[in-house]
Structure 1
Amino acid sequence: MVNTLTVQWVKPVATLAVAGFLAACTLPGVGPSKSQIFKGSVQQEGDAFVVSVNDRVTRATAVVPALGFSSNFQNAAQLTSDTVRPGDILGLTVWENVDDGLLSGETGAATILEEVQVDSDGFIFVPYAGRVRATGNTPNQLRLLITERLQEQTPDPQVEVRRVAGDGATVSLTGAVGGQGVYPIERPTRTLSTMLAQAGGVSIEPEIARVSVIRGNQKGQVWYQDLFRNPELDIALRGGDRILVEEDTRSFTAIGAVSGQSRVPFESQDLSALEAIAQVGGLLPLSSDPTGVFVFRNEPAEIAGQVLGRSDLQGAQRMVYVLNLKDPNGIFVARDFVIRDDDTLYVTEAPYAQWTKTISLISGGLTPFANVATLTGS
């Protein structure tokens, strides 16, 4: 009887002994546990501040890239098609009140000069009128200047000045646009949005398209969609502007108990922690710990000071933000917490997953020394 009871209790006792042994050992895992992260906090003489995220923290850390144009860009008036600039091509017609005029000769009273290009110094050459400054004048002002010059040579000349092409004021478009190239600033394309439309629009997702305008030694950058949300950002263009459209280069790293571990590009201008989790396929039902969602970040001292309520911090601080999706307000907090460039999103394993690994090693696989059958002698 005693032997029978002994045999009956051998296996359970051995199983519990092995379970205890495995619990004391380090089981395979995707990274540090939640308790290990907390042990590495400054409060525990570690080197990182571990902060539970709440509404106050989300407001203090809600920093997004500051894009926009300076006042020099925004205050520049639109170019008018009437202003002549270097490189423009003009058409001139001159009528003379004499049968044998200076310009008309045997061809009649009207002389047509189809293409007269404004040189780099801003002048054009008109026979018998000489070099006439065209830059900065409207076609009508230029007409009066030419008329005044010709009156010294022929009686009562009548002059017409037309703008044939505006390739003197051009911009270059490169990057992710429908058609890269050099485009003239004309009546329909005086602003940034209309010029982009002329080039075929952007060839990437509008949500992640950044538009840069380089004017001399100045540069401004905006989100493509903001050109339509905020009309004041749709600046007037100037000759020589260089326009570059490129995809947003920001990304975050997702590791731990998530569906996909990788470096993940942003899919929108503002990315929340909840959206970041969704981008990598969400949490794993059987292994992710919804109370242990961490965001690792090097935080500027001014923001870290607001979060921690301190004013003595110097330089970037290692911050670990903790999100608990099981809190009554947890989903809202995760939805409001902003993910930033180079953040690391780490999800710890649930205690159940660790226990499952322990049971799996005991019942199905080999322990570091022997399986359960060997230990119990069966």
Structure 2
Amino acid sequence: MILGLISACALPRVGPNKQEIFAGSVLREGDSFVLTVDDRVNAIAAVAPALGFSAGFLNAGVIGSDTIRPGDTLGLTIFENVDDGLIVPQGANSTLLEEVQVDGDGFIFVPYAGRIRAAGNTPEAIRRIITERLGDQTPDPQVQVRRLAGDGATVSVAGAVNAQGVYPIERPTRTLISMLAAAGGVSINPEIARVKIQRGSHTAEIFYDDLYDSPRNDVALRGGDNIIVNADTRSFTALGATGSQERVPFETKTISAIEAIATVGGLSSLTADPTGVFVFRTEPEAIAEQLVGLDLTGPQRVVYVLDLTQPNGMFTAREFAIRDGDTVYVTEAPFVRFDKTVAAITGSLSATSALTNASGL
């Protein structure tokens, strides 16, 4: 009678056992593909969305530090070699035009020289244009052009940096790495830092560490760029017979199944089944088709099986890449359920004996 009661009641456990997971396979009319991880599966499943800069960012040339841009402010000094000058006041040999601002279309206005294209030119090029135009009206004019502080060549740096703010694009800070250095560097673990650039309607993002993998990643900046540094938001969930059951953020750019298990305290030495380590994931259609060799429609539920007792099981798990949103689940060993059953029986018999003794029967 007691055995019947126990078999009729569900014993407490951390989740489904191996048999129940395999029963959910498509091969058994379930709704997920259950795949044993091997080298082939590892090679396909390791594909993950990559971060990086598009060609538009990578191919952008560095802007010269003397290139004038809309919003910049110039200072002009004009010298004339005549007593009655065109611009210079009588009795003086020069006139100073302070704070001539480049308008939104990239032009400045100089008396007697007219409207001049400044944006995209250097101060030297602008000097030559003004000199040429004034030379038709006054003999041998001499012109000096200086670039003053302007608001057209700046970027904003925000997020997890030590000194957020708006910074000018100057000779030492014309590229991304140097600009981040000017902002004091990142204030979080570089391994989980992600750097995003917003340029008009275009956005690109890269891992901070990847900036140093190739010189091309140190992209040239443009006025108006927004640089944002944030911590990586990827995570996985660990459940079952592990040291702890929790949602775990990524602490490195990549993490393997072995590292994921170690992060939550490893397998429970008292309850875990090392042949029953599962990773639950929804795979994109293209990857799922490669895995199962079938024509599929839409994302597919895939359950990856890792057996750590096999000769190469540890190597396979070490090479299996965990992705954002994965659930790592470790089943209980078969003897654990047996022990729970025995404990339930023993506890029930003890309770019956206690009731009998208390009633005096």
> With structure 1 as the length reference, what TM-score do the two structures score?
0.86
One-letter amino acid of the counterpart of residue 232, structure 2:
D
**Partner in structure 2 of residue 373 of structure 1:** 353
Q: Structure 1 residue 96: deviation in Å?
A: 2.4
Q: Is the 8 A contact 1:73 1:235 kept in 2?
A: yes
2:161 aligns to what SS in structure 1? coil
2:56 aligns to what SS in structure 1? helix
**Partner in structure 1 of residue 272 of structure 2:** 288
2:203 aligns to what SS in structure 1? strand
Q: Structure 1 residue 202: deviation in Å?
A: 2.0
Q: Is the 8 A contact 1:19 1:359 kept in 2?
A: no
One-letter amino acid of the counterpart of residue 304, structure 1:
A
Q: For residues 213-257 of structure 1, what are the alpha-carbon distances to aligned partners after superposition, in whole Å with 9 as ceiling and x for unaligned?
A: 222222222111111112212211122222222222222111111
Q: For residues 276-311 of structure 1, what are the alpha-carbon distances to aligned partners after superposition, in whole Å with 9 as ceiling and x for unaligned?
A: 112222221111221111111112232222222x22
Of stretches 242-251 and 293-302 in structure 1, the one that deviates more from structure 2 is 242-251
**Partner in structure 2 of residue 268 of structure 1:** 252
**Partner in structure 2 of residue 95 of structure 1:** 79
**Partner in structure 2 of residue 163 of structure 1:** 147
Q: For residues 102-145 of structure 1, what are the alpha-carbon distances to aligned partners after superposition, in whole Å with 9 as ceiling and x for unaligned?
A: 55547853434443221222222334434322122211110011
One-letter amino acid of the counterpart of residue 78, structure 2:
V
**Partner in structure 1 of residue 320 of structure 2:** 337
Q: Structure 1 residue 50: deviation in Å?
A: 1.4
Q: Is the 8 A contact 2:73 2:101 kept in 1?
A: yes
Q: Determine the C-alpha separation between the residues in 2 that align with 1:376 and 1:336.
A: 59
For residue 316 of structure 1, the aligned residue among 299, 305, 314 is 299
Alignment of 1:39-50 (within 5 A): 39-50=23-34
Q: Determine the C-alpha separation between the residues in 2 that align with 1:52 and 1:264.
A: 24
In the alignment, structure 2 segments of 5+ residues that lack a partner are none
Of stretches 264-273 and 238-247 in structure 1, the one that deviates more from structure 2 is 238-247
Q: Determine the C-alpha separation between the residues in 2 that align with 1:285 and 1:19.
A: 28
Q: Is the 8 A contact 2:152 2:224 kept in 1?
A: no
Of stretches 17-26 and 198-207 in structure 1, the one that deviates more from structure 2 is 17-26
Q: For residues 35-90 of structure 1, what are the alpha-carbon distances to aligned partners after superposition, in whole Å with 9 as ceiling and x for unaligned?
A: 22122222222222211111111111002222222212211111112221111122
For residue 215 of structure 1, the aligned residue among 195, 199, 210 is 199
Q: Determine the C-alpha separation between the residues in 1 that align with 2:288 and 2:56.
A: 33
Q: Is the 8 A contact 2:83 2:91 kept in 1?
A: no
Residues 1:129 and 2:113 aligned together: yes
Q: Is the 8 A contact 2:281 2:303 kept in 1?
A: yes
1:303 aligns to what SS in structure 2? helix
Q: Determine the C-alpha separation between the residues in 2 that align with 1:305 and 1:128.
A: 72
Q: Determine the C-alpha separation between the residues in 2 that align with 1:319 and 1:279.
A: 23
Q: Determine the C-alpha separation between the residues in 1 that align with 2:91 and 2:342.
A: 105
Q: Determine the C-alpha separation between the residues in 1 that align with 2:93 and 2:335.
A: 99
Residues 1:349 and 2:332 aligned together: yes
Q: Determine the C-alpha separation between the residues in 2 that align with 1:221 and 1:320.
A: 30
**Partner in structure 2 of residue 181 of structure 1:** 165
Q: Structure 1 residue 265: deviation in Å?
A: 1.5
Q: Is the 8 A contact 2:279 2:303 kept in 1?
A: yes
**Partner in structure 2 of residue 84 of structure 1:** 68
1:188 aligns to what SS in structure 2? helix
Q: Determine the C-alpha separation between the residues in 2 that align with 1:198 and 1:255.
A: 43
Q: Structure 1 residue 361: deviation in Å?
A: 3.1
> With structure 2 as the length reference, what TM-score do the two structures score?
0.90
**Partner in structure 1 of residue 130 of structure 2:** 146
Q: Structure 1 residue 204: deviation in Å?
A: 2.2
One-letter amino acid of the counterpart of residue 221, structure 2:
L
Larger Rg, first or second structure (1 or 2): 1
Q: Structure 1 residue 335: deviation in Å?
A: 0.9
One-letter amino acid of the counterpart of residue 26, structure 2:
V
2:77 aligns to what SS in structure 1? strand
**Partner in structure 2 of residue 3 of structure 1:** none
Of stretches 250-259 and 173-182 in structure 1, the one that deviates more from structure 2 is 173-182
Q: Determine the C-alpha separation between the residues in 2 that align with 1:55 and 1:190.
A: 45
Q: For residues 314-349 of structure 1, what are the alpha-carbon distances to aligned partners after superposition, in whole Å with 9 as ceiling and x for unaligned?
A: 222221111111211111111111111211111111
1:172 aligns to what SS in structure 2? strand
Moved over 6 A (4+): 375-378
One-letter amino acid of the counterpart of residue 352, structure 1:
F
One-letter amino acid of the counterpart of residue 84, structure 1:
I
Residues 1:199 and 2:179 aligned together: no
